A and B are shown apart, each in its own frame.
Chain A
Amino acid sequence: MGQKGFYYDSTICTGCKTCQIACKDVNDLKVGSNYRRVYTVEGGRFPEVWGYYLSMSCNHCEKPKCAENCPTGAIYKRDKDGLVVHDEDRCVGCKMCLWSCPYEGPQYNKEEGKAGKCDGCADLIDEGENPACVDACGMRAIEFGDIEELREKYGDHTDLKVLSDYNLTKPSVTIKAIPEASK
């Protein structure tokens, strides 16, 4: 089956962080834990300065190191849509996933002694809906769908300077950003 993923248009993103909050709400996350995060990237030298926002969640990688390294199999890829999901009951809190993700996806919950991560709102997806972050975005900057279709529609861009090499985990994401963001 196809691999689901995100398209994100950084050029229209206003950095309002509604996606981050919608995610926090739907996953009921504590202070300091954000399955989706909005980064601010700046650069250049006056007067030639530039900046952009980058909204990132789990990228539901084609080759997820977190799932590969997880000792219990708590993190696994769903067969039907390739979403990288997390089974809390199986998680032993070894933090191996935190050592495996170059996108800061998995996060550790000290109170529960377990990790947690974006599951692409798998429950909502199964009901035919969008992930919470997608529907919450006022600018319609995030789109969720079959990653091959999204890449065909918007182009295949993951080579941002601030991101690790694509081949490390093969993230299912494509990002439209200003030229300065590219490698």
Chain B
Amino acid sequence: MFGEEWQLLLFTLLMQLAVGTYLFLTIVRASGKIPETIKMKVTKLGMASVGPVVVIAILLSVLHLGNPFGAYWSIANFASSWLSREILFTGAFFILWGVSYYLERKGSWNQLLGWAASLVGLVAIFSMASIYATSIIPAWSDFNTYLQFFGTTLFFGSIAAVLLILWSREEKTEELNKMLKKLVIVGIAAIALQLVYLPVYIAGLSMSGVAGAESVALLSSTYVWPGILRWTLTIAGAVLVVWALFKGRNQIVGNYSLLYAAVVFIIAGEILGRFIFYATGVPIMIG
């Protein structure tokens, strides 16, 4: 029913990518084991790319409005509207990224600011999930929405951070490689939680009334194969990432082609997953 909301679909995915990437790069920079110069250099490209991704995401979200020129009004109802809160925290995340990136360029990266920006980004994702969770669409007003949004944030974030770090020209130390492996494990665990919760989600939804039952009917008929494909892609992507990082020749980073294939699978899986999320959202109506 909301398959036409493609701008929102991309907005949510891009914001989750941006926040997740920023968070993981900040974690890498916090590591005491990796030498200062190396950890700053390897994360430089990643940190630079977060802002542009947020800009694209915000432009897409404004495009979704019927009256984009009134967009400045949309933070007015901060007191009760999660949409207002999401817009405010998204803007705040962008500003904090801007300040932290400016400081980094001047050679004085501030770790505390990095943590603050990460936290604000996570609050933006929480607000984003809450928009859906407070709707009258039972398939969205469930814990599953939080799992899905934070799952994508950590999954995308870890994979993007690893890829962006590997792209940097600096020599990768043993500690850095260990760190990357840990990040990927966290990302995969976050997405796996969603799969574990899936039966609970479906069971709860089927008990939640007519609209919820209709969502279950969609999930178990029209969207069975897309659903299976989504998880096949995600699992294949995760397995390939693990394979590339843990089994690759030349310590860890030898197998870039494997990693690229994994990224394609992971992106396709998440887009499909988010599409199913929108498409199976059936609102409570009269009747």
- What is the interface of chain A, defined by CB distance below 8 A to chain B? 39, 41, 54, 56, 65, 67-74, 90-96, 99-104, 108-110, 112-115, 162-164, 168
Contact = CB atoms under 8 A, between A and B. Distances in A.
Interface string B129-170: 001001111000000000000000000000000000000000
Given A69-B83, A73-B77, A162-B287, A91 B136 contact: no
B64 interface: yes
B283 interface: yes
B134 A113 contact: no
A56 B67 CA distance: 28
Contacts of A90: 70, 73, 76
Contacts of A101: 136
A73 B77 CA distance: 5
A99 B286 contact: no
B200 interface: no
Contacts of B82: 69
Contacts of B80: 67-69
Given A92-B67, A94-B83, A71 B284 contact: no
28 contacts: A41-B287, A65-B134, A65-B136, A67-B80, A69-B82, A71-B81, A90-B73, A90-B76, A91-B66, A91-B67, A91-B70, A92-B65, A92-B66, A93-B66, A95-B66, A99-B137, A100-B136, A102-B284, A104-B285, A113-B65, A113-B66, A113-B67, A114-B67, A115-B66, A162-B286, A162-B287, A164-B136, A168-B284
Given A99-B137, A114-B66, A164 B75 contact: no
A67 B80 CA distance: 9
B55 interface: no
Q: In the complex, which range does the number of interface residues on chain B fall in? A: 20 to 34
A108 B66 contact: yes
Given A56-B286, A168-B136, A93 B76 contact: no
A166 B73 CA distance: 31
B81 A99 contact: no
Contact of A72 (B73, B135, B209, B283): B73
B43 interface: no
Interface in B61-108: 64-68, 70-71, 73-77, 80-84, 87
Contacts of B284: 102, 164, 168
Interface of B: 64-68, 70-71, 73-77, 80-84, 87, 131, 134-137, 209, 283-287
B76 A73 contact: yes
A114 to B, nearest CB: 6
A162 B68 CA distance: 36
A94 B77 contact: no
Contacts of B81: 68-71, 96
A71 B136 contact: no
Given A93-B66, A93-B67, A113-B66, A72 B286 contact: no
Contacts of A91: 66-67, 70
B64 A94 contact: yes
B92 to A, nearest CB: 16
A93 B65 contact: yes
B283 A103 contact: no
Contacts of A39: 286-287
Contact of A54 (B75, B131, B135, B286): B286
A168 B75 CA distance: 25
B70 A72 contact: yes
A113 B62 CA distance: 13
A103 B287 CA distance: 10
Nearest to B86: A71
Contacts of A68: 80-81, 134
Given A92-B67, A102-B284, A104-B285, A72 B134 contact: no
Contact of B283 (A92, A94, A99): A99
A92 B285 contact: no
B131 A96 contact: yes
A113 B71 CA distance: 12
